[in-house]
Amino acid sequence: MGRLVTLATRYPRLGALVLGAGAACGFQPLALWPLTLLGVAGLIALVRAAAGWRQAALLGWSFGVGHFTVGNFWIATAFTYQAAMPGWLGVIAVVLLSLYLAVYPALGALGAWWIGRRGTAAFALAFAGCWTISEWLRSWVFTGFAWNPLGVAALGPFERPGLAGMAPWLGTYALSALVVLLAACWWIAAVRRRADWRGLGLLLAPVAAMLAPIGSGQDDGGQGGAFTLVQPNIPQEELNDYRMFEANYQRLAQLSPVRPGQGRRLLLWPESGVPDYLREGYPDRYYLDNYGADPVLARQRLGRLAGPDTMLLSGTTDLEVRNGKAVGARNSVTALDGRGTIRASYAKAHLVPYGEYLPMREILTPLGLSRLVPGSLDFWPGPGPRTLDLGGWGRVGVQICYEIIFSGQVVDPANRPQFLFNPSNDGWFGAWGPPQHLAQARLRAIEEGLPVLRATTTGISAVIAADGTIRQHVPHRTAGRIDGTLPAARAPTPFSRTGNALPLGWAAILLVLALVASRRRAG
């Protein structure tokens, strides 16, 4: 550790870049959390030794560039499915995104240097508190991109949540602060340069915490509601090809029949599960442009497939029509009963920039740049978290695709659901994106105390219990179905009651403690 710090100190910005890249290896699918702790510990050492605030901020920024480039490199895969833009543009897009996202670690490093530079304990506390605030800012500034908060590295394997089991009392962003404090233990052990029992404790305590069997063996039972969750394994290159629409429907249909003894059940299909427009009232040409799908017949066919005691929840697309012309679209989940009647719907609120809408369209379109998702219409955002009351099928909160990554923004607190449904199309996420997406869905389950059911086109689909354990799953790039009963919801957690006021409160406590420690050191 000492030699690594010495080498990084000689070339601090390059060292920070490498440390950031290494820290991202603690996320799925590698889950090498010791590299996360080592990377953050190295960053703390570099920022603590910074000669001034500018250098401190640049070190945080360099760390962020390496961290987000490695952690988000799966985004480059999306460009390989877009004929309108060259694939190599994906690499540039990842780097450009990382240059922006690195601003937030820079702010965290700057704040820590400013508040806690007078003492070792003060600096560790300030770094943890400022990191919490920087991740919270990243989750909402410019609509937010909350992918891979540091706390994800605290998740245990499928059968237990690990240290992330603390999320109901911390929230994800304060869980990240806990990871920072564990990394700071290694930094303090290095700067003490004493081989005694305290140094040994500082080295071993983070390991013990990360390996703690928190939540292991817990079973909340089930609520009794039956479900069938379908993963059709439709490749991304076939998903939007109109020539494959019927074949794709048949893949879903073959995995969906009711089985003996199921009775009333939910049938859960992924995002983009139904290409047909299911609502009436659009001008005829839009149905014809959608290759002749009549909305009434499409709904009736789905109802017959589902059966009389089944409620189908599937990803769909709705249009916004003004004066006989479609001016926008909604990425929706539609609930259909066995008669083909629309019982409820939800429209995605957190849209993906450049994926579902094109910012600055007037400037970028003439340059040949377009959305990653095919289509000429931009999607419009829905109103935010809503609970759909499906009667005897229960109350469900819906979060479409990457909406599930936004901590504190997935549940309507005035109408708490029994579970969350997270349909997604992860087919353009590469190999690293799907397991990272699943990990963040697990954190939402733990924070909110609610089970999460994920149905995706290509995986990883899963049944996640309210403690974050994965009861069942369909592996990546595999067709399959899961039949079961809904895991039980837990009582509202402290986080579900307070939202992100909870981690911000913890950040405030850490910063106050840092100021107190700084004053004692100065005195």
Closest to 459 in 3D by CA, of 430, 418, 499? 430
Asked about 348 being catalytic, the answer comes back as yes
Asked about 135 being catalytic, the answer comes back as no
In a domain, 494, yes or no: no
pLDDT above 70 (res 286) = yes
Element (H, E) at 44: helix 33-48
Asked about 401 being catalytic, the answer comes back as yes
From the list 348, 356, 403, 448, the catalytic residue is 348
In a domain, 59, yes or no: yes
Looking at the fold, whether 46 and 155 belong to one and the same domain comes out as: yes
In a domain, 416, yes or no: yes
Domain count, the chain: 2
Spatial strand order of the sheet with 452-456 comes to 387-389, 395-398, 419-424, 452-456, 461-464, 470-474
In a domain, 205, yes or no: yes
Looking at the fold, whether 295 and 151 belong to one and the same domain comes out as: no
Looking at the fold, whether 209 and 251 belong to one and the same domain comes out as: no
Looking at the fold, whether 386 and 426 belong to one and the same domain comes out as: yes
Displacement of CA 192 from its chain's centroid (Å): 38
Looking at the fold, whether 16 and 36 belong to one and the same domain comes out as: yes
Burial 226-243 (b: 16+ CB within 10 A, else e): bbbbbbbbbebeebbeee
In a domain, 495, yes or no: no
What string of DSSP letters covers 298-326? HHHHHHHHH-TTEEEEEEEEEEEEETTEE
Q: Which residue has the higher pLDDT, 398 or 118?
A: 398
Distance between CA atoms of 486 and 265, rounded to whole angstroms?
A: 10
Report phi then psi at 397, rounded to 5: -100, 135
Q: What is the pLDDT of residues 367-414, one digit of tens each?
A: 555 555 556 678 899 999 999 999 999 999 999 999 999 999 999 999
**At 3, is the pLDDT very low, low, confident or very high (cuts 50, 70, 90)?**
low
The answer to whether 423 and 273 are in contact (CB under 8 A) is yes
Looking at the fold, whether 515 and 465 belong to one and the same domain comes out as: no
Query: CA of 101: how far to CAs of 104, 111, 310, 436, in Å?
Result: 6, 16, 44, 17
In a domain, 157, yes or no: yes
The predicted pLDDT at position 352 comes to 82
Structure tokens at 403: 């909406």
pLDDT above 60 (res 220) = yes
pLDDT above 90 (res 6) = no
As a whole number, mean pLDDT of residues 442-446 equals: 97
Looking at the fold, whether 210 and 253 belong to one and the same domain comes out as: no
Looking at the fold, whether 39 and 108 belong to one and the same domain comes out as: yes
Burial of 505 (0-12, 13-18, 19+ CB in 10 A): middle
Burial of 120 (0-12, 13-18, 19+ CB in 10 A): middle
Query: CA of 7: how far to CAs of 15, 18, 63, in Å?
Result: 8, 11, 15
Looking at the fold, whether 242 and 108 belong to one and the same domain comes out as: no
Looking at the fold, whether 197 and 240 belong to one and the same domain comes out as: no
Distance between CA atoms of 160 and 469, rounded to whole angstroms?
A: 5
Distance between CA atoms of 192 and 185, rounded to whole angstroms?
A: 11
From the list 25, 130, 185, 401, the catalytic residue is 401
In a domain, 150, yes or no: yes
Question: Of the given ranges (180-194, 216-230, 260-274, 467-481), which has the lowest mean pLDDT?
Answer: 216-230
Rounded to 5 degrees, what angle do the CA atoms 470, 443, 146 make?
135
Q: What is the pLDDT of residues 452-504, one digit of tens each?
A: 999 999 989 999 999 999 999 999 999 999 999 999 999 999 999 999 999 99
Neighbours of 95 (CB within 10 A): 15
Q: Which domain holds residue 33?
A: 2-216+500-522
Looking at the fold, whether 167 and 235 belong to one and the same domain comes out as: no
Q: What is the CATH number of the domain that holds 465?
A: 3.60.110.10
Looking at the fold, whether 50 and 96 belong to one and the same domain comes out as: yes
As a whole number, mean pLDDT of residues 421-435 equals: 93
From the list 25, 130, 135, 271, the catalytic residue is 271
Query: What share of the chain in percent tops pLDDT 90?
Result: 71
Distance between CA atoms of 474 and 460, rounded to whole angstroms?
A: 6
In a domain, 11, yes or no: yes
Question: At a CB cut-off of 8 Å and minimum separation 6, what does 419 contact?
Answer: 223, 394, 396, 397, 450, 451, 452, 453, 486, 487, 489
Question: Of the given ranges (95-99, 303-307, 350-354, 445-449), which has the lowest mean pLDDT?
Answer: 350-354
